[in-house]
Structure 1
Amino acid sequence: MLDSLALLLEKAFLLAHFDIFSVLPCGEKKETQAHDEVETERLLQKLQRGDLLEVPRTLFIHFGIYLGDGKVAHLIPDILPALTGDASRVQRVVSNTRLLLGVLNKRAAVRVDSLQDFAYGSPVLLNSMDGAVGTRPLAGEEVALRAEKLIGSIPYSLLWNNCEHFVTYCRYGTAISLQTDKFCEFLKSILRDQRSMLVATLLGVCFIIYLGLSPCTALPTFLILFTLWMAG
């Protein structure tokens, strides 16, 4: 059952999270890998222990803390630690399927990976949150020690305990997520839009007509409409 679900999820998100090396000719693969290795070496020369790293993903930004020696600590959703105690399997690079199932099951781990595995082919930004958070970063060694103390399995929440909360706690002493704040502001803008109320009303009426006017269908519908009306 789990394998079937994993296969379906992997196919559903293949276009959003595909591996570029799987579609490149052999020559281009080598050129791309060589380019990535050069960029990684250049970046390693700039990095210091405790730096905050971020890489863009398709739908979000992923964050980590540099520990030195080419290693990065980052919080990432992962279902595999809940299914097996085989450390060799768990330590492999987290696949998209493992990540998605981890999100659905609210399981994650603070793990240490190489800089190249952490970046996953994306450009790496360095300490770009220092001016946005409004709090001075802690000393680099303290930041790294905080990250190292949290290594291991932890509960996960897409909005309230994600990779950004992890790095901001380590670097600034306060767990916050600017991505979560932006998402909540987006939801507020939708609730404040009167058109949302009209659409919800139309859907509620259709829902009641389709299922029939009974307390178990009408009451939740009216409560949702009342909440949207008060929020707007």
Structure 2
Amino acid sequence: MGTIASAELKPGDLIEIFRPGYQHWALYVGDGYVVHLTSAGDITGAALANIMSSGTERAIVKKELLSKVAGKCMYRVNNKHDREYPPLPPREIVRRAEEKVGQEMPYNLTSDNCEHFVNKVRYGVHRSDQVYQATELILTGILGMGLAVIRTLTRVQRN
């Protein structure tokens, strides 16, 4: 993980950028550029807080230098679903990504985020593992709290 030499990146690769508290996703399209779904000022700071509180927002597809998008954050190639879903040919991935550049799209943290966007373009599959993992953690927490309450009530009934 870290900064990757441009020669190691291949057009169509998914790039996972590690931001504080979440991962931002982009598609490498060549010559140091990525295409990604983001708010007008990128989804950081006040923009992220606004999106998280409101639940929905509009976002824009941008083509920018990976070095600008990643900033000082670590990143890596993560084509994690290649075994489960065959990726489209690289030329088709790049074409699909670049034809979206400049388009405004709905943004929703749980149903239409940057990870959904890149997976849809690379694999034709609308999915976000971050959302799935967060939902799983929340449900596990709720289940754990429910079991704790049942145990407490059971102890109280015995006494």
User: TM-score, with normalisation over the residues of structure 1?
Assistant: 0.56
State the Cα distance separating 1:188 from its structure 2 match: 1.7
State the Cα distance separating 1:150 from its structure 2 match: 2.0
The aligned residue for residue 72 of structure 1 is 34
For residue 50 of structure 2, what is the amino acid of its counterpart? Answer: L
For residue 109 of structure 1, what is the amino acid of its counterpart? Answer: I
1:100 to 8, 29, 49: 49
Q: Give the whole-Å Cα distance in 2 for the aligned partners of 1:183 and 1:107.
A: 22
Q: Which runs of 5+ in 1 are unaligned?
A: 1-38, 81-89, 199-232
The aligned residue for residue 53 of structure 1 is 15
* Equivalent position SS for 1:193: helix
1:160-194 superposed Cα distances (whole Å, 9 cap, x missing partner):
00010001011111110111111111122123224
Q: Give the whole-Å Cα distance in 2 for the aligned partners of 1:102 and 1:117.
A: 22
Q: Give the whole-Å Cα distance in 1 for the aligned partners of 2:51 and 2:141.
A: 28
The aligned residue for residue 176 of structure 1 is 127
* Equivalent position SS for 1:156: strand
| Bigger fraction of residues in helix | 1
Q: Is the 8 A contact 2:57 2:108 kept in 1?
A: yes
Q: Give the whole-Å Cα distance in 2 for the aligned partners of 1:106 and 1:176.
A: 18
State the Cα distance separating 1:51 from its structure 2 match: 1.4
The aligned residue for residue 143 of structure 1 is 93
State the Cα distance separating 1:109 from its structure 2 match: 1.1
Q: Give the whole-Å Cα distance in 1 for the aligned partners of 2:91 and 2:110.
A: 28
Change (3 A) 1:145 1:196: farther
The aligned residue for residue 107 of structure 2 is 156
State the Cα distance separating 1:196 from its structure 2 match: 7.3
Q: Is the 8 A contact 2:13 2:79 kept in 1?
A: no
Tell me, yes or no, if structure 1 residue 114 matches structure 2 residue 65: yes
For residue 97 of structure 1, what is the amino acid of its counterpart? Answer: A
State the Cα distance separating 1:154 from its structure 2 match: 0.8
* Equivalent position SS for 1:106: strand
Percent identity of paired positions between Structure 1 and Structure 2: 30
2:80 to 113, 118, 129: 129
For residue 63 of structure 1, what is the amino acid of its counterpart? Answer: W
Cα RMSD for the two superposed structures? 2.5
* Equivalent position SS for 1:61: strand
Q: Give the whole-Å Cα distance in 2 for the aligned partners of 1:117 and 1:97.
A: 19
State the Cα distance separating 1:68 from its structure 2 match: 1.3
User: TM-score, with normalisation over the residues of structure 2?
Assistant: 0.78
Q: Is the 8 A contact 2:11 2:94 kept in 1?
A: yes
1:191 to 118, 137, 142: 142
Q: Give the whole-Å Cα distance in 2 for the aligned partners of 1:164 and 1:113.
A: 17
Which protein is bigger by CA-based radius of gyration? 1
Q: Is the 8 A contact 1:102 1:108 kept in 2?
A: no
Q: Is the 8 A contact 1:190 1:196 kept in 2?
A: no
